[in-house]
Structure 1
Amino acid sequence: MTKQFTYQSANIVYHLAGTGKTVVLLHGFGEDCHIWDEQVLFLKEYFRLIIPDLPGSGASDPLREKNGQPVSIDDYAECVAALLEKEQVESCVMLGHSMGGYITLAFAEKYPLALDGFGLIHSTAFADNEEKKANRLRGIEIMDQYGGASFLRNTIPNLFGEKYKRTHPEMIEGLIRRAAAFKTPALQQYYMAMMQRPDRTAVLSKAGVPVLFIIGTEDVAAPMKDVLQQARLPLKSYIHIIEGGGHMSMWEATTELNNYMLAYINGL
């Protein structure tokens, strides 16, 4: 079922599937809700799923700056909170991929009692270091010059492990074609928000619920060595490493990820 609501004058579209315990799936940069399609097909038999197009992605409008301040990761988290309020969800499990993980951490910091559990799917609680910030700024400039679609065409293949790139070029090309629908300003807004997000390792240290970590050995966007450092911080962690996987286990290791998610949620 597809629904929508208005948040700060933006039309936000989201999808519902299944029944039972509520699980929220947040997609990453350059993606929309459909990145989770295989997980939705599997998990809807067990849980009630809420899968939004985050503001600026898919069918959802971007957020506007307030008082001249750039849109932040916290602003996206507040939009998710408004969605849960609309759906009368008092508690849920939230699983975020990449940028969706940043939003999950921001949500967990402000609304810890609303989470029965949360997970970082190829994501990190570290803030961008200076090199990463410089790369984000360069990315924004490249998008200014060549457009967001061209930027994603060059960056999306790097998110996958080498084996998947060799064996499934048509899948990667399909993701690139879908990403071409993104508006350049929305992508730049995401990059600025990610660049300015704070370190949230304290959210992991203070987590009162078990935290799920999904890590790819060939992930260049959320390197295994960085995420493993963070996985030791929560009182209880569920850590799964995808051997040979990159940043996209939703596609690269669908069955493994589905089963890891199911076992984690059932164990809460």
Structure 2
Amino acid sequence: MMQKNCTWSGGTIAYTIYGEGIPVVLLHGFGEDSSIWNRQVGFLQQHCKLIVPDLPGTGNSQWGIVNGEWSIVNRAEDSLTIDHSPFTTPSIDHLAYAIYELLLQENILSCYLFGHSMGGYITLALAEKYPSLLKGFGLIHSTAFADSEEKKKNRVRGIELMEQYGGYSFLKTTIPNLFGQKFKETDSPSINQLMEQSKAFSTLSLQAYYYAMMKRPDRTHILKGNPLPVLFVMGTEDVAAPLNDVLQQSHLPLISYIHILDGIGHMGMWESTDRMNQLLLSFIQQ
């Protein structure tokens, strides 16, 4: 295991490298850090070289700003803007560029990239802008669709709630909904652990992520006819990346690997660890 840092134009990104072999990058989602993949790391590092970063604004990864330089300036229900100085408005594309800079620093010319939830949005952005760097990629409980108008209004409301009550309070109410019913009944300590970890997250960064997700474009065109192999992992009880939404996209690439986890919500890495580990390894070794 080796912990490293990469400086890019928008700040610094901290990441950990495990194992040797085929490069594989694991991107976490909103309200998470790189530890969300811990149940995969121990298994996959025996078979490949894992690069697991904390996205800018999470953990030891920093935006190129001082906390407090962002402020929410328009709280109208139908719109929201973030005052930014000196950093440009945060976007999914900026996060993808941070991962690109990390790969350049590591001299990685070709890798597999897997993104969970928001990490999947970043994966698609990187697949659009730097396709030559990828051997294949996976959307883990994620979607290529842009937010619907209703979802955008919910994002604005979420940013409002975080402004009023703080990021930790917001995540405490949303994290339990990410899990399937069985996991909530049998492993509540894990859910409580995830909620406890969320105390460390900056409210400003969480708001910035929500804003970036709200503004992201539809990227189904990246999937359509894509010659790279694409892995889709979805859960039947996933309320954040609904099964029907992801199924509509899964036929678009030329080569799709489609896996539906029965009784699983949005967090298959924890809810169905062994199955997820095997799916990722099989895809890498295909």
Q: 2:11 aligns to what?
A: 10
Letter in 2 for 1:103: I
Contact 1:216–1:247 (CA under 8 A) maintained in structure 2: yes
Match of 1:110 in 2: 129
Alignment of 1:22-33 (within 5 A): 22-33=23-34
Structure 1 consecutive aligned stretches of length 4 or more whose deviation exceeds 6 Å: none
The answer (yes or no) to whether the contact 1:13–1:60 under 8 Å persists in 2 is yes
Correspondence for 1:132: 151
Give the RMSD, CA atoms, in angstroms.
1.1
Query: Could you list the runs of 5+ residues in structure 2 that have no partner in the other structure?
Result: 66-83
Percent identical among aligned pairs is 57
Q: Hey, what does 1:214 align to over in structure 2?
A: 233
* 1:187-218 per-position Cα deviation (integer Å, ceiling 9, x unaligned): 00000000000000000013221100000000
* Match status 1:53 vs 2:72: no
Q: Find 2:222's aligned residue among 191, 203, 207.
A: 203
Shift of 1:6: 1.5
Q: How does 1:155-174 map to 2 (within 5 A)?
A: 155-174=174-193
Q: 1:11 Cα shift?
A: 2.5
Q: Measure, in 1, the Cα distance between the counterparts of 2:20 and 2:34.
A: 18
- Relative to the length of structure 1, the TM-score reads 0.97
Equivalent residue of 1:180, what SS? Answer: helix
The Cα shift of 1:69 comes to 3.9
| 8 A Cα contact 2:90 2:208, kept in partner | yes
Q: What's the TM-score, normalizing by structure 2?
A: 0.91
| 1:240 aligns to 2:241 (yes or no) | no
- 1:10 deviation in Å? 1.8
Match of 2:277 in 1: 258
Q: Displacement, 1:5?
A: 2.0
Amino acid at match of 1:2: Q
Offset from partner CA, 1:79-113 (integer Å, 9 cap, x none): 00000000000010000000000000000000111
**Contact 1:160–1:245 (CA<8 Å) still a contact in 2?**
yes
In 2, Cα distance between the equivalents of 1:19 and 1:68? 36
**2:91 is matched with which residue: 72, 83, 103?**
72
Q: Does the 8 A contact of 2:6 with 2:101 survive in 1?
A: no
Q: Shift in Å at residue 68 of structure 1?
A: 6.7
Whole-Å Cα distance in 2 between the matches of residues 68 and 121 of structure 1?
30
1:9 and 1:124, CA in 2 relative to 1: closer, same or farther beyond 3 A? closer
Per-residue CA distance 1:157-190 (angstroms, 9 max, x = gap): 0000000001111100000000110010000000
2:173 equivalent among 154, 165, 179: 154
Question: Structure 1 residue 143 and structure 2 residue 143: aligned?
Answer: no
1:91 aligns with 110
Give the Cα separation in 1 of the matches to 2:114 and 2:284.
10
Q: Is the 8 A contact 1:20 1:47 kept in 2?
A: yes
Equivalent position of 1:119 in the other structure: 138
